Structure 1
Amino acid sequence: MDAAPRPLVVKVTCGAEAPERANQAWTVASTALAAGADVTVWLTGEAVWFAVPGRQPSLDLPHAAAVTDLVEAVRLGGRIVVCTQCAARRSLTTQDLVDGATIAGAASFVEAVLADGVQALVY
């Protein structure tokens, strides 16, 4: 019997200013979900806009899946968390975010990445 993949936390620190890096983060997160991993994507800085309907950056990269599809896959199968300070700097509340997204601070991030068996990636 194969063991389930370990949990994955992907922290995205960029948005449209670094389209390849941002798209890679979402691609890895959605691929891990498809492989059966428990996935949480944490958004900081300009990446918080990926969690705001109508404000999601269009990365428009050749040979890449549409980021809106990747975000939706993670929203439906995993978790999306927005940095508390980053949300506050942009006057965002949970009501501004895609359904199911939450806002949490550094202590929650540290707790998530230090849990047993978790793999954390930062983009």
Structure 2
Amino acid sequence: MKRSLVVKVTAGLDAPERCSQAFTVAAVAVAGGVDVSLWLTGESAWFGVPGRAAEFTLPEAAPLSDLLDAILAGGKVTVCTQCAARRGITGADVIEGVRIAGAQVFVQEAMADDAQALVY
């Protein structure tokens, strides 16, 4: 049985190390063949918008835009519905392949029999 990993990142530029760790774990899991779903909540919601990940820098860390591309190539990326609404982000604003969804979808993914969930 193939395992799945749901990663919820709540930090953005306000906590760059925590944000980078979440993206790194998700990208490494995708590279390892794990089914990954990365949830962008709080300030990380901005990274679902084109160009925002490229603005993120953290010394000694992989570029966030590269990590996001790797995750999108082999996993799912979701911006939280309420987080998007609070920031004026709509479906027309997000990167191709990024969806906007709410808590019900998160709970379904996190509670799947083969799922492991991490929150950063």
CA distance in 2: counterparts of 1:114 and 1:107, whole angstroms = 11
| Identity over aligned pairs, percent | 56
Q: Is the 8 A contact 2:26 2:38 kept in 1?
A: yes
Which segments of 5 or more consecutive residues in structure 2 lack a partner in the other structure? none
Q: Secondary structure at the match of 2:60?
A: coil
Q: Which residue of 2 aligns with 1:64?
A: 61
- Tell me, in whole angstroms, the C-alpha distance in 2 between the residues paired with 1:79 and 1:7: 11
The gaps in structure 1 that reach 5 residues or longer are: none
Larger radius of gyration: 1
Query: Relative to structure 2, which stretch is displaced further, 47-56 or 28-37?
Result: 47-56
Q: TM-score, normalised by structure 1?
A: 0.92
Of 106, 109, 118 in structure 1, the residue corresponding to residue 106 of structure 2 is 109
Distance between the aligned counterparts of 1:110 and 1:81, measured in 2?
13
Aligned-residue RMSD, C-alpha: 1.2
Instruction: Report the TM-score when normalising by structure 2.
Output: 0.94
Question: What is the alpha-carbon distance in structure 2 between the residues aligned to residue 42 and residue 11 of structure 1?
Answer: 5
Amino acid at match of 2:5: L
Q: Which runs of 4+ in 1 moved over 6 A?
A: none
- Equivalent-residue separation in structure 1 for 2:70 and 2:16 (angstroms): 18
Mark the CA change 1:122 to 1:57 in structure 2 (over 3 Å): closer, same or farther. Answer: farther
> Aligned partners of 1:41, 1:18: CA distance in 2, in Å?
17
Q: In structure 1, how many angstroms separate the alpha carbons of the residues matched to 2:7 and 2:53?
A: 18
Who is 1:51 aligned against? 48
- Post-superposition offset of 1:57: 6.3
- Maintained 8 Å contact 1:16/1:57: no
Q: Which residue of 2 aligns with 1:119?
A: 116
How many residue pairs match? The answer is 120
For residue 14 of structure 2, what is the amino acid of its counterpart?
E
